[in-house]
Structure 1
Amino acid sequence: MEQVIRTNVGLDMAKATFWASICVLTLRGEVECRGSREFSNSKKGFKELEKWIKEHDANRAELHFTMEATGVYHENMAHYLYGKQHHVHIVLPNKAKKFAESLDNKSKTDKLDAKALGQLGAERTLVGWSPASPTFKVLKSLTRERASLIAIRTQLKNSLHALKHSHEPNAGTLKRTKSMIQELNTNIKSIEKEIASIVKGDEALRDQLAYLTSIPGVSLLTAVIVAAETDGFSLIGNVRQLCSYAGLDVKIVESGKWKGRSKISKKGNSHIRAALYMPSLSTARYCNQHKVFYNRIVERKKKPMIGVTAVSRKLLILMYTLWKSETLYQEDYPLKKAS
């Protein structure tokens, strides 16, 4: 049997079951699929997967597991494998989709998706995954819950506005809508208090967040959202990677003499982009440095929204820099540095 450099198990996760496909990278640089099988998405299925891998003698080479982020259905498997000290890789769905399309498969099934993920992890060196810290995991859950409740509240407020201006609205409907809005307000305030309590009880986290909130326009909630979504910037190696993760990287479209319109990719964490929108508007108005930057962009591009997006990107990079350097924001820093 030919020597194997790397063994990767592609996992296509679903709610009740998942498909696994064992792929190996040989010394000649070829990728071979050694077998595929369906398992239940449970602890029992996870143990059966390990047994099946041993039966295929796949533990001789370095063993990797690759899956795509599918809502929450992949999380239990990822934590289970990480706890077993395996190499775990979680790729974005669009990346997995593009790779699968390059294989020129005419069909699309869970089995083929698992095989494509197996080939992807065998061929390429992917970034390793590790669980978020317990504190940031809780904060991420709370901030996302809050965002969901705010979205629902906005819908209800719009409905209430329409009802009030309609002809002879039903009194019971108005009462129930107002009651639901009030209930949401109570729950949102409760979540915000819980977030503040967690931050207050963690001195190290409180000090780190103070660097971010020293930026004009950045509130505690904004700082918490960005820190939680990036796990305290622990997996971010540079500014370019950060912007790509947040979907604020610039996508250039051009071919020959034709020049398309450049725009941000939006293929990243939408929660970060949403959290930075209002602070960007605020800092572009009240912070002299960002105001000059915003006006320069708008003057050149003629579109205010492009200026706001540019400020969001600049703000995110600034937050990353202050977090890593453990420094408070200084508005006249460039002038001090020049002198």
Structure 2
Amino acid sequence: MNKYKETFGVDISKNVFDVFGSTSGHNQFNNDEKGFKSFLKILSNNSIVAMEATGYYHYRLAQFLYKNNVAVSVVNPLSVKRFIQMKLAKVKTDKSDAKAICEYSLANDVPLYNAFTDVQAECLQLFRLMDSYLKKRTATKNKMHGEETLGIPSKFVYRSLKRDKKHLDKELAGIEERLLELVRQEQQHQLTLLQTVPGIGAKTALFLIVVTDGFSKFETGAQLCSYVGITPTTRESGSSVRGRSRISKVGNKKLRNLLFLCAFNACKYNRACQALYQRIVNKGKSKKLALIAVANKLLKQCFAIAKSGLPYDADFVSVLAEK
């Protein structure tokens, strides 16, 4: 199944990364530029290096190898975890994890990594920072509300919290302005097109473009919905197990939350989404389930618009969205 001369599995942490080669065995290197170069020296021609998506730690190594023309795959940690559980492994170390990633890559057709452009990389950093600031602002607002309920809040504490919130508001506005500036450099046309979809705002359009690399990472709308994590999962077994259908939630949480917010507006102003929502509710299903279906529909509409390169048309996009 694997077409490469040698497959390497990498388990990476803050200071070091463990490597297990299908023929060369185990090695360990420092997680820095010097360690990257040392690792590069042991790689034979036609090798592939697989690693888990581990937040910040895997990114530098993946970018370094990609720029040095090494085949790289960044795999889903959950898939590797399930693979390890299936083998009933009793030992968990950095070395064993690297070996497991290697074996997983040998047994599966793992996707190749596409490096981010400088614009894409900065956009993702900005979104991570935005998410952090949004959480801080929510915490600050909750703290202000808590102080108000005391009846006689400390003026010093309340003013400090107001200054903190004002500062976060300013930073968030600056981040959104910078994001808009960056996306306009490469994807202005697509940004305009996505906002023609009733229910999709500028922030969601921005985020969609960034995380999907202009929708180039996906071939179908169904693949995109699976990535976001708004596809239903069913739990049934025999005659006794009849679990409730739920969304998978294995995907991009931030994008999923934005789409749910957009779904409320889509139910009012998007003809296809409105009809879908009413049809599900009229069947006696919950409103939450109907909103999930609307979010799914909305995402497929965005995919259809991005791939067609045409502005939203209620009749035309409905046909494309079903594909």
| TM-score bracket, shorter-length normalisation | over 0.9
Amino acid at match of 1:10: G
Q: What is the aligned-residue identity percentage?
A: 30
The answer for the alignment partner of 1:241 in structure 2 is: 223
Query: Match of 1:74, SS?
Result: helix
Work out whether 1:7 is the aligned partner of 2:19.
no
Contact 2:218 2:224 survives alignment (8 Å):
yes
**Would you say 1:275 and 2:258 are equivalent positions?**
yes
1:219 aligned to which of 185, 195, 201: 201
The equivalent of 1:37 in structure 2 is 27
Q: For 1:326 and 1:335, how far apart are their aligned partners in 2?
A: 15
Q: What is the rounded CA distance, in whole Å, between the counterparts of 1:39 and 1:216 in structure 2?
A: 51
Q: 1:208/1:7 Cα in 2 relative to 1: closer, same or farther (>3 Å)?
A: same
Give the 3-state SS of the residue equivalent to 2:20 in structure 1.
strand
In 1: Cα distance, 2:307 partner to 2:248 partner = 25
TM-score, length of structure 1 as denominator length = 0.88
Asked whether the 8 Å contact 1:133–1:231 carries over to 2, the reply is no
- What amino acid is the match of 1:210? T
Superposed CA RMSD in Å reads 2.0
The answer to whether structure 1 residue 20 and structure 2 residue 2 are counterparts is: no
CA distance in 2, matches of 1:51, 1:87: 15
CA distance, structure 2, for counterparts of residue 276 and residue 285 of structure 1: 15
Question: Are residues 139 and 50 of structure 1, via their aligned partners in 2, closer, same or farther at CA, if it must alter by over 3 Å?
Answer: closer
Question: Which residue pairs with 1:198 in the alignment?
Answer: 182
Q: Give the structure 2 partner of residue 188 of structure 1.
A: 172
Task: Provide, for residues 99-132 of structure 1, a one-character-per-residue CA deviation record: whole Å limited to 9, x for no partner.
Answer: 1122222111111000000111122211111112
| SS of 2:89 mapped into structure 1 | coil
Q: How far does residue 289 in structure 1 lie from its aligned partner after superposition?
A: 2.3
Task: Decide which of 125, 140, 146 is 1:156's aligned counterpart.
Answer: 140
Q: Which has the larger radius of gyration?
A: 1
Cα 1:173–1:223 shift into 2, 3 Å: same
Describe the SS at the equivalent of 1:232. coil
Letter in 2 for 1:66: A
In 1, Cα distance between equivalents of 2:174 and 2:110: 40
Alignment of 1:44-55 (within 5 A): 44-53=34-43
1:109 to 1:289, Cα distance in 2 relative to 1, 3 A: same
CA 1:79–1:333 in 2, change beyond 3 Å: closer, same or farther? closer
Task: Please give the TM-score of this superposition, normalised by the length of structure 2.
Answer: 0.92
- Deviation, 1:75, is 0.7
Structure 2 unmatched ranges of 5 or more: none
Q: Distance in 1 between matches of 2:109 and 2:308?
A: 30
Q: Which residue of 2 aligns with 1:87?
A: 71
Displacement after TM superposition at 1:329 (Å): 0.6
Is the 1:226–1:272 contact (alpha carbons within 8 Å) kept by the matching residues of 2? yes
Q: Which residue number corresponds to residue 314 of structure 2?
A: 331
| Structure 2 partner of 1:320 | 303
Whether the 8 Å CA contact 2:16–2:29 is kept in 1: the answer is: yes
Q: State the 4+ residue runs in structure 1 displaced beyond 3 angstroms.
A: 332-337
